[in-house]
Amino acid sequence: DGGITQSPKYLFRKEGQNVTLSCEQNLNHDAMYWYRQDPGQGLRLIYYSQIVNDFQKGDIAEGYSVSREKKESFPLTVTSAQKNPTAFYLCASSPRTQGGTEAFFGQGTRLTVV
Amino acid sequence: GESVGLHLPTLSVQEGDNSIINCAYSNSASDYFIWYKQESGKGPQFIIDIRSNMDKRQGQRVTVLLNKTVKHLSLQIAATQPGDSAVYFCAATNFGNEKLTFGTGTRLTIIP
């Protein structure tokens, strides 16, 4: 089955530690995205990548880092510099066709800092 | 930049009735719009989309209306069912811009 997979579903981190969230897609999509969602809020864009080895900051990139070494993978690292990392993180991908197209989402990773 | 907002954070509808969720966007260059449904603890799921060269598009029990003059779109769900209870987001983008801008979401509750 084609899709986008995020792991783990739940993640706990101690303050001061970096943690990496995994996102893998087998849809052959060029573009991938990371969003953050806080309770009762919309989705805010952290980083996005349109092609391998290239990525751009979104609206709330501070305290986060990404890499795009392979087309199918776009891991997100939440660093200790992120002041309020507890949130629901969503990864998405899209095929980048002309005129815009929908983004397909993973099931999310809920990160809790303890 | 684009900003997208929904008119009501919550909406309750009797089962079997129709529901309408409204959304406003700010960027007149936006030309592609999507409605997503998000159930608790899950990622958003695509419901329906519409491009700016259309003002109406219908799916199964859902209809999206786009009014470019006032930069407004709506999602109509007909004959609501308990499974329609979720948070609904609208999103907007424009040609050449890879970023989808999301609204804050409307929580729809279907009352049995």
Q: What is the pLDDT of residues A64-107, one digit of tens each?
A: 999 999 999 999 999 998 989 999 999 999 887 655 678 899 99
Q: Is B95's Cβ below 8 Å from some Cβ in A? A: yes
Give the model's pLDDT for residue A1: 57
Rounded distance between C-alpha atoms, residue A81 and residue A68, angstroms: 21
Give the model's pLDDT for residue A98: 55
Give the model's pLDDT for residue B7: 65
* C-alpha atoms less than 13 angstroms from C-alpha of A68 in its C-beta half-sphere: 20
Rounded distance between C-alpha atoms, residue A56 and residue A46, angstroms: 9
- Counting runs of H as helices and runs of E as strands, what totals does chain B give? 0, 11
Give the model's pLDDT for residue A47: 96
What the block records as the tokens of A60 is 């709330």
Specify the 3-state DSSP secondary structure of B81. Answer: coil
The 10s digit of each residue's pLDDT in A6-64 is: 999 999 999 989 999 999 999 999 999 999 999 877 899 999 998 999 999 999 999 99
Match 């954070």 to its residue by tokens.
B9
Q: Is A58's Cβ below 8 Å from some Cβ in B? A: yes
What the block records as the tokens of A73 is 């993978």
Out of B4, B89, B95, name the one closest to residue A100 (CB): B95
Confidence category of residue B96, pLDDT binned at 50, 70, 90: low
Contact B99 A101 (CB under 8 A): no
**In chain B, what residues touch A41 (CB-CB under 8 Å)?**
104-105
The answer on pLDDT for B32 being more than 80 is yes
By CA distance, what is B39's nearest residue in A?
A107
DSSP assignments along A21-61, one per residue: EEEEE-S--SEEEEEEE-TT--EEEEEEEEETTEEEE-TT-
Q: Are strands B56-58 and B45-51 parallel, antiparallel or unpaired?
A: unpaired
Rounded distance between C-alpha atoms, residue A83 and residue A39, angstroms: 17
